[in-house]
Chains A and B, each alone.
Chain A
Amino acid sequence: MGTRHMFEADYRVVQDEDIIQTTPFLLSWGDHPVGLRRSLERIGQCTPLILQPFQGGLRLLCGVRRRQILREMGVTDFPAYIVPESLSDLAALELALEDNLGHRVFNEAEKVLAVKHWSRYYGDRELIRDHLPRLGLPPRREILTRYQGLALLEAEELTDLARGVIDPETGEWLLGMNREDHQAVCGLLRDLRPNRNKRKQMVAWLIEIGRREDRPLIGILGGPEIRAILQNERLSRPQKEERVRRQLRGRRYPELTRLEHMRAARLKALALPEQVRLQASPDFEGLEFTLSITFSDLRELRNGAGVAARLADHPDMIALMELG
């Protein structure tokens, strides 16, 4: 079976100065893959760039990263395929995409770029059905809307997206914020680098606190409690993250936090021995309490059972039951 070619391409070595600055279908964003630099340093360029004549020069369709690294290494001439000037923009875009998709996984920022480019040529229905899956994205309208929206992120935030400092869902939430809040939240995420789940939780809490208290997020993050945590040099990054999360949770769920503190105080007041454990469900629905006795001999069992039997009349136990 023969190979299908979309076009004929010339092969030649081009000078860097012949390549014009326009990169019409930029699909590379974020840090260079470590392996690429190592490979180029070790054996040089083995995959040619793909260029197209454009306005008297050559525009770069594929090989942005290779060219950039090679230039940093002092290389000024590059092996390249030159595709015909007559090749349409859509065909050139598809060429650039397939060249990239064929040998690597796009980061989230690059998926945003791909969707942005595609959106110039395809309708929504076609994009959802045929093209989102090419990026490994589920074919759903809200996904398209999200990635199209993320194209509005500033360059620095797109880099955050590429690096995983923010994820697409968080990015979408950021776009709903004013510029100052947006920057304050990004700054917090850069400082703390929470994992994806914790990040989403923190940003969701922040947004909800802002709405509940009718306050800008920059004001919440700039408040004395959060500032004190972030500026505390004795705390490691994970410790800061944990404390900021606890602070935000307490502010988002003040009543629940109050009940939790009351429960903890009552449990402490019961002064249960180590082998007797009392657990209530975290929801305060009061539907289920669990008492467990750990023992290794009959004496320990007798002791544990005695403690358990006396609990029913203990005022703190009664209060715990009322708490739920």
Chain B
Amino acid sequence: MKESGRPRGLVAEEALLQTPLGRTLADRLPVVAIRPRIEPADYAAHEAGELILASHRGSFVKPCPGTRGYVCCGLQIIHFGLGCYLDCSYCILQSYLGTEALVLFGNTDRGLAEVREYLRQPLPRPMRFCTGEFTDSLLLEGLTGFGRRLVEIFADCDHAVLELKTKTTNVSGLLDLEHAGRTIVSFSVNAPMVARQEESKAATLDRRLEAAARVVQKGYRVGFHFDPLIRHPGWREGYGRTVEDIFEAVPADRIAWISLGAFRYLPRFKTIIKRRHPKSLITEEEFILAPDGKMRYLRPRRVEMYRHLLSTIRQAAPKVCVYLCMESPRVWREVFGFDPGPDGLIHMLDQQVEDPRGRST
């Protein structure tokens, strides 16, 4: 993994420097600024290479907002930081914060207490939690150990699972944990050419799959997210190769799920991609403005990609759970022959949660 963009300096709220996390970070990074309080509006003043340690004043656990008209997987998001230095050309995180700095919420204890409290209550159904919505789950694991602490919390819980989503290989800290099958380590994957050209600072595909194999050896189940699927010359062969590589790296029955999501972006994001990644061709395909306000490939093109991926996956592992991320019921019907209906996808994925140790359906 290339080093550029990694935190080189710490900007911290004064009080947070006294916390264990604050002390650890201050030991390992030069403190470039200390502020009495850092508000979200202040983030934009900071630059790439700065790690902002700020208090999160809202709720740490939030449901995925989903999108009207598109089928949502119903994840609960544990919100512990913002931003990512992997700098993938297609990544929405480039436009979210208005800064290239990373933000880590330093009031972790309150965050973890909130997660514990959430899990203590009777939940209406098995729940899936994830930390990788606004940042990569394991990007700063070496500095924070936040993933480790969550794995330990979820190990005591029999009606929820934690999903850690990453494009890194930072799994070493998870290997010695008693996870009780309650954590799924997921890897974002792509076709080799996309991984090389558009995810140039992330771990290589081979290394991601090696990391997946390592966690599987320690009893974890894994997930794979083909998201975003990007049309490019040779996409069929490229995605086919990645599917093959996945099933060579890990046994199918250790895969909790594989998601497919075609590239989509907010219209204003195109300017950011062109400015930050002038050589990237990912916005040169044909897109339409979909009812959710995002630019999407034309539906027939998306369906074509999903069908190809699904058939390739099914050939290798007929029973593995495959789902579409944020797609319309119509696309579901055209790809799978059915649409999951309201909450159908949620139930489908919840079944995976109920069977923590193993068998995929």
Shortest C-beta distance, B228 to chain A (Å), equals 18
Please judge, given known A-B contacts A211-B281, A324-B299, whether A285 and B286 are in contact too, CB under 8 Å: no
Chain A residue at smallest Cβ distance from B334: A286
Name B's interface SS.
loop
Chain A residue at smallest Cβ distance from B69: A287
Number of chain B residues whose Cβ lies closer than 8 Å to a Cβ of chain A: 18
Number of chain A residues whose Cβ lies closer than 8 Å to a Cβ of chain B: 20
A282 at the interface (CB under 8 A from B): yes
Query: Which residues 265-295 of B sit at the A interface, judged by CB distance below 8 A?
Result: 275, 278, 281, 283-284, 286, 288-291
Shortest C-beta distance, B230 to chain A (Å), equals 14
How far is A142 from B286 in the complex, measured between Cα atoms in Å?
A: 27
- Residues of B within 8 Å of A283, CB to CB, are 288-291, 296
Contact B330 A259 (CB under 8 A): no
B301 at the interface (CB under 8 A from A): yes
Query: Which residues 281-306 of A sit at the B interface, judged by CB distance below 8 A?
Result: 281-288
Candidates B275, B284, B288; contact of A284 at CB < 8 Å: B288
How far is A252 from B288 in the complex, measured between Cα atoms in Å?
A: 12
- Residues of A within 8 Å of B76, CB to CB, are none
Contact A288 B275 (CB under 8 A): no
A11 at the interface (CB under 8 A from B): no
Please judge, given known A-B contacts A255-B298, A324-B299, whether A285 and B288 are in contact too, CB under 8 Å: yes
Contact B298 A259 (CB under 8 A): yes
How far is A253 from B286 in the complex, measured between Cα atoms in Å?
A: 6
A254 at the interface (CB under 8 A from B): yes
Contact B286 A256 (CB under 8 A): yes
How far is A286 from B328 in the complex, measured between Cα atoms in Å?
A: 9
Q: Which of B290, B291, B299, B330 gathers most chain A CB within 10 Å?
A: B299
Please judge, given known A-B contacts A208-B284, A255-B286, whether A284 and B298 are in contact too, CB under 8 Å: yes
Contact A287 B291 (CB under 8 A): yes
A212 at the interface (CB under 8 A from B): yes
Q: Which 3 A-B pairs have the closest CB atoms?
A: A283-B288, A286-B330, A253-B286
Spell out A's residues near B (CB within 8 Å): 142, 176, 208, 211-212, 252-256, 259, 281-288, 324
Spell out B's residues near A (CB within 8 Å): 69, 275, 278, 281, 283-284, 286, 288-291, 296, 298-301, 328, 330
